[in-house]
Every structure is written in C-alpha cells, then in structure tokens.
Amino acid sequence: MSFLTKFRSSTQEIPNISAEQLQIPKHVAIIMDGNGRWAKKRFLPRFAGHIKGVDALRNCVEFALNNNIEFLTVFAFSSENWRRPADEVSMLMDLFVKSLQKEVKRLLKHDVRLRIVGDISKFSEKLQTLILDAQEQTKDKQKLNLTIAANYGGRWDLVQAMNKLFAEQQNQNPKTDFGESDLEKYLSLSFAPEPDLFIRTGGEQRISNFLLWQLAYSEFYFTDTLWPEFDSKEFELAIASYQQRERRFGRISEQVKK
C-alpha cells in the first residue's frame, strides 16, 4: 500500500490537510548521513554502518516506486570524503563496486534508470566501467530516475558547467550576457527538475556542498534519525512535513491559492 493510499484511508495522520490537497514530491534529494554513528552506537566498525546504509537506500527506492516519486537523488560520496581514513575510503569503493554488481538486475526488473553524477575519473577503471555499464543497461527505464552523486560537490558542479559553457562559446560567436538557462543545461542534473524536497538524516542541518544550484527553492526536512534507520515510516514523516508547506516561489499566499 502506498503512503498516499494509506493516508486517504485515515485522514487523522496529518492535521488540517484534506486527502485531496495532498501532493507527492516529484523529485526528492537526500543526504544519507549517520552510517558511522549508527555503527559506533552498536560497537561495530564504521563500515558496518555503510553496509546497513545500502539496505536503507534499497528501501527508499522501493518507497519511491510505490509512491510515484519520479526522481530520487542521493549523496553517496562527496568530493570532500576523500579526506576520510584511507581504509574507510577503500572499503567504500569496494562496497560501491559490489552494490553495482548486485543491484543492476533489481533496477532493471523495477524499471529504474540509474545515473551517477560527479567526477568519476577519480575512481578505479573497474568502478568506472561498472558505472558506465549500469547506466547503459538502465537507460531506457522510466518509472524512477535514481541518481547517485559520487565524488560530487556543488561547487565542482558549477565550475564544470561553466567550463563547458565557455568551451562551447569558443566555437561560436562570443557571448557575454549569460542567463540561468545558459548554465543550467551543463549542470550534472540538467535532466531532472529541481528537487521539491530535500532530506538530511543524522541530525545535521546543512546542505554540505550538495546541489547548491538546484536546492534554491526546495523544501528542507532534517531528522535526527541515522541513515541506516531511515525506513518507510521515516520517509512518510518527511513527505507529511512537505505536504504541510506552502510553496510560493516568490508569490504571496493569495496568489498560490487561486
């Protein structure tokens, strides 16, 4: 049963909002934070938290599929995460390889298109090949667009987009008056609408260089829940919070309600 269907059967869950007013976000972006702390609380090595985090992501993909969320973008490895202990980084790379090898069949079965955004040139040749192969295999899938940001940073994204824009200009008549649309088409997520809802688990309340351009008008939801514990119930709470927001995009309430 989807969240929307379940809500319509019980309008007690979210006060002051009728079932007819409910909206499911088209695009949800998530910073999956708290794997290491989850493991530490259980006296386990940090890597055990990352393994459990893969299960949490799988559950969130299932939730998105069941609730007609069209785009799900998650921050798996930032360009700053290379600063972590070398053994942890190495294990994360191995986990990435194993997850790609294991999950592609599941994605194909459930009509999920996978994209990896970020500077993948820093990864091993094996991992780069797996990434490109997974993207190619799933390129025609349409029910859910799953994007994993790996070796990604919002500032990097803006710089690489600017470099591509300027390179294009060298092959055309030079242009000096650029607009937002000129740059947007070179951003890593140019294929997706801007996120409606941004979720961060683990208690931190910042965006940590994630989707700096794209989150300008997103609704933010922060939770103390550590990522390995972020299940469908937690996802429902985030959606419920989103559904109580009034998204004005610079307008006033009276204009939105017309």
Q: Catalytic amino acids?
A: 33, 81
Q: Which residues contact 23 (CB under 8 A, 6 or more apart)?
A: 242, 243
Both tokens of residue 5? 């269907």
Dihedral angle sign, alpha carbons of residues 95, 98, 100, 105: negative
Dist CA 46 CA 42 (whole Å): 10
- Identify whether the C-beta of residue 225 lies closer than 8 Å to the C-beta of residue 234: yes
Give first-to-last CA distance, the chain, whole Å.
32
Dihedral, CA of residue 20, residue 22, residue 26 and residue 32, to nearest 10: -160
Provide the 8-state DSSP code for 81.
Answer: G
CB 90 within 8 A of CB 123: no
Q: Report yes or no: 151 and 120 within 8 Å, Cβ to Cβ.
A: yes
Is 134 exposed, middle or buried (CB count within 10 Å of its CB: 0-12, 13-18, 19+)? buried
Closest CA to 232 of 57, 29, 109: 57
